[in-house]
Chains A and B, each alone.
Chain A
Amino acid sequence: MPMIIEINHVTKTVKGNDLLKDIDLRITKPGVYGVIGRNGSGKSVLFKTIAGLLRPTTGEVKVFGEKVGNGRFPKHFGALFDLPGFVPRYTAFNNLKLLASIRGIISTEDIRQVISKVGLDPDDRRPVKKYSYGMRQRLGIAQAIMENPSLLILDEPMNGLDETGVEEIRGMILEFKKQGMTVLIASHNSEDIKLLCDQVYRMDQGKLTLHQTETVS
């Protein structure tokens, strides 16, 4: 069985700045994996490299055994980066329908279900521009999970959420774990990491080190 994520000696240099320094990482079992670190430490760059959006300067990234980057994206994965962009004049349902239409592998019923799953109303007629920050963040998570990925990358998913929202998203992530999904999560909040993650890595000035390990069952 191929490894879920395999990163071999990856560096990423942009305009002379080393954003990633000799990163090695192997994830073999499904679970929740956290990355902590200050702003600008390289967490987002690492996640975007795993997602195939950025090409490593040296080294290689494999997801489910296949090399990614340089125009190749991983299969069976979903991602949430920053505050996701949606069409402001569209409803939540129409936004997801538009994105889903690019691959055309899920039904409108699946879209309705995933919107309900993140605590939003699929029949809400309000355009997304009237949504709060937290509601857009939930919609971003819905977009990331709508095609039922095996690997989910969440970059600061709790940003802008109120206490109830944070609790709900935590519950969702634990549910994804139960379903056998692999979740990579970056968070500032040490409580999120403590409650959710099986293994925690620290990112500091482009270097990744193992911070804490729980038992990944």
Chain B
Amino acid sequence: MGNLLRYHYRLLICTPTLLVVPAAFLLNAVIAGISNDWKLPYSGLKSVAFLLYLPTNPSFDLVRWLLILTPYLLITGLYLHDEFTGRFVNVSIQSKRSTLWLDSFLIVMTLFITVGTILGFCINMMAGFLINDGGEAVWMEGSMFEKVNAVNLLVREFILMNGSAMIAVLTNILLTLLFRNMGVATLLTVTSIIVSFAVARLATPLIPWLPINMGLTAFNEIQPFSLFHGTTVSVAMIVILIALIRLVFRYRLESLFIEGLKQEG
């Protein structure tokens, strides 16, 4: 297991992939800065939390939300594609157990998302301190910014955003195994994120039960739920997705060995 963890780690957590995720967070900070005329309503750590506080503008911030999640989907999706179209057979023969390949991949993928999100938060922290203005007006009276201290707000955003990214990536992996086609799986995952976002806007009581949206802290203003509730729902969803992935992986294993993934185009 240790050697397979190192194998996935070397290939998945490398400089190019670790640059893409923070770059998306930086772009998100720039968009948030531009859309607020480079005047953030809060200063210090709250300005950082504000940059990650989505959505202020529902339709526009869906784009920002997808901007943050898409790099995780593309990097892990392309990695899976490369493994299943070539290396998977060799690695299975070397490791003598294919399920170990999956388990170690899921562990390294979790690490990748966590490290990516930490780097993304660091980038946003720098951007927040650079842009931070302290604003003249209180942005939203009675919002979480008024009630919760900055550190708690950032911890909440980190945990729930990490959970959302995990759920999105696990959904993508499950669909890739089901359809044996990375392109179709990514398209369906992005669609499910958009649908979940739309459902949250149209049926607000459902917000606390849509784990793929949990990272959208601003939804918490519309329909309050605790960090404990958000974390529990996210973890439950992650456990269910992992169980389904393991099941489908076993079912699909032989077709992956015979044909690999379907090629795009």
- Which residue in B4, B82, B255 is a CB contact (below 8 Å) of A85? B82
- Which residue in A53, A55, A71, A77 is a CB contact (below 8 Å) of B99? A71
Given A45-B258, A53-B257: A101 and B3 interface contact (C-beta under 8 Å) = yes
Interface residues of chain B, those whose CB is within 8 Å of chain A, are 3-4, 6-7, 10-11, 82-83, 85-99, 254-255, 257-258
A79 touches B93 (CB 8 A): yes
- Least CB distance from A187 to B in Å reads 19
- Least CB distance from B18 to A in Å reads 15
Interface check A51, CB cutoff 8 A? yes
CB-contacts of A93-126 with B (<8 A)? 98-104
A84 touches B10 (CB 8 A): no
List residues of chain B with CB within 8 A of the CB of A77.
Answer: 93
Give bound CA distance, A62 to B160, whole Å: 50
Please name the residue on chain A nearest to B6 by beta carbon. Answer: A101
List residues of chain A with CB within 8 A of the CB of B254.
Answer: 14, 53-55
B90 touches A98 (CB 8 A): no
Interface residues of chain A, those whose CB is within 8 Å of chain B, are 14, 44-45, 48, 51, 53-55, 71, 73, 77-79, 81, 83-87, 98-104, 143
Give bound CA distance, A87 to B255, whole Å: 22
A73 touches B93 (CB 8 A): yes
Q: Which 3 A-B pairs have the closest CB atoms?
A: A85-B86, A102-B94, A85-B87
List residues of chain B with CB within 8 A of the CB of A87.
Answer: 11, 82, 87
Give bound CA distance, A101 to B89, whole Å: 16
B3 touches A84 (CB 8 A): no
List residues of chain B with CB within 8 A of the CB of A53.
Answer: 89, 92-93, 254, 257
- Which residue in A45, A55, A71, A99 is a CB contact (below 8 Å) of B94? A99
Most interface-central of B3, B7, B95, B258 (chain A CB within 10 A)? B258
- Least CB distance from B93 to A in Å reads 6
B93 touches A51 (CB 8 A): yes
Give bound CA distance, A48 to B255, whole Å: 12
Most interface-central of B6, B95, B257 (chain A CB within 10 A)? B257
Please name the residue on chain A nearest to B95 by beta carbon. Answer: A102
- Least CB distance from A177 to B in Å reads 22
- Least CB distance from B190 to A in Å reads 26
A102 touches B258 (CB 8 A): no
Please name the residue on chain B nearest to A72 by beta carbon. Answer: B96
B95 touches A71 (CB 8 A): no
- Least CB distance from B114 to A in Å reads 23
A-B CB contact pairs (8 Å), 23 listed: A14-B255, A44-B258, A45-B258, A48-B257, A51-B93, A53-B89, A53-B257, A54-B254, A54-B258, A55-B254, A71-B98, A73-B96, A78-B93, A84-B89, A84-B90, A85-B85, A85-B89, A87-B87, A99-B91, A102-B4, A102-B94, A103-B3, A104-B3
